[in-house]
Structures are given as structure tokens and as C-alpha cells.
């Protein structure tokens, strides 16, 4: 049957060089940077005190990260899914600690 061009919309160029390297680097960033929240979470849960922790600020962080998580799931962006899920988890641990011990 003639020259049908079905399936061409699924064609992707293979990433090379700097783009591929940066894509791999972003997986490291996606995992490492949310971990920067750990010291705050640990401090709250170990000391059982959230005296100077703003629940409004941490609530906003959780809402923002949740929106990014939904967005990344809809768009099937794996690196953003990993990053956003970690942010939601870790920021929620701070927020829950602030609620429990604040």
C-alpha cells in the first residue's frame, strides 16, 4: 500500500554528547537536592521541637511539590517524578513534625 508514514510521530533522535551527560546529571540533582531537607526533618523529630518552623511556609512547599509531582506524572517526566516525589515526602516530614511538635 503506497508509502504510508505511520508511526513517525514516535521517532526520537538518540541523545548524544553533552545532552546525554546533562540528562544523567539531572538524575543526581533530582535525588541529592531534596535530601537537603533531611537535616531540618531530623532536627525536628529528634529534638521533638519545631519552635521556629513556619507551618505556612512548609505547607506551601508541600503544595508546590505536589503540583510538580502531578505535572510530571501527567507528562511522564521520570526525572521530575523522582525529584517531586522526594520533595513531597521530605517536606511532608517537616510539616508533620511541625504539626506534632509545633
* Per-domain boundaries in the chain: 53-102
Query: How many Å apart are CA 82 and CA 50, to the nearest integer?
Result: 27
Picking from 69, 50, 48, the residue whose alpha carbon sits closest to that of residue 58 is 50
pLDDT of residue 61: 97
What angle, rounded to 10 degrees, do the helices at 17-32 and 78-101 form?
10
pLDDT at 77 (0 to 100): 94
Distance CA 31, CA 83 (A): 6
**pLDDT tens by residue, 58-81:** 999 999 999 999 999 999 999 999
Residues of the chain predicted below pLDDT 70: 1-14
DSSP character for 33?
Answer: G
The confidence score (pLDDT) of residue 102 equals 85
Amino acid at each position: 500500500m503506497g508509502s504510508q508514514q505511520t508511526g513517525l510521530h514516535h521517532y526520537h533522535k538518540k541523545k548524544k554528547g553533552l545532552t546525554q551527560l546533562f540528562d544523567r546529571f539531572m538524575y543526581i540533582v533530582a535525588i541529592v537536592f531534596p535530601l537537603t531537607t533531611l537535616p531540618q526533618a531530623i532536627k525536628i523529630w529528634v529534638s521533638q521541637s519545631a519552635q521556629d518552623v513556619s507551618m505556612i511556609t512548609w505547607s506551601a512547599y508541600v503544595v508546590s511539590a505536589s503540583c510538580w509531582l502531578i505535572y510530571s506524572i501527567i507528562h511522564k517526566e521520570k526525572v521530575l517524578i523522582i525529584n517531586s516525589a522526594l520533595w513531597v515526602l521530605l517536606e511532608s516530614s517537616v510539616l508533620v513534625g511541625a504539626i506534632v511538635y509545633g
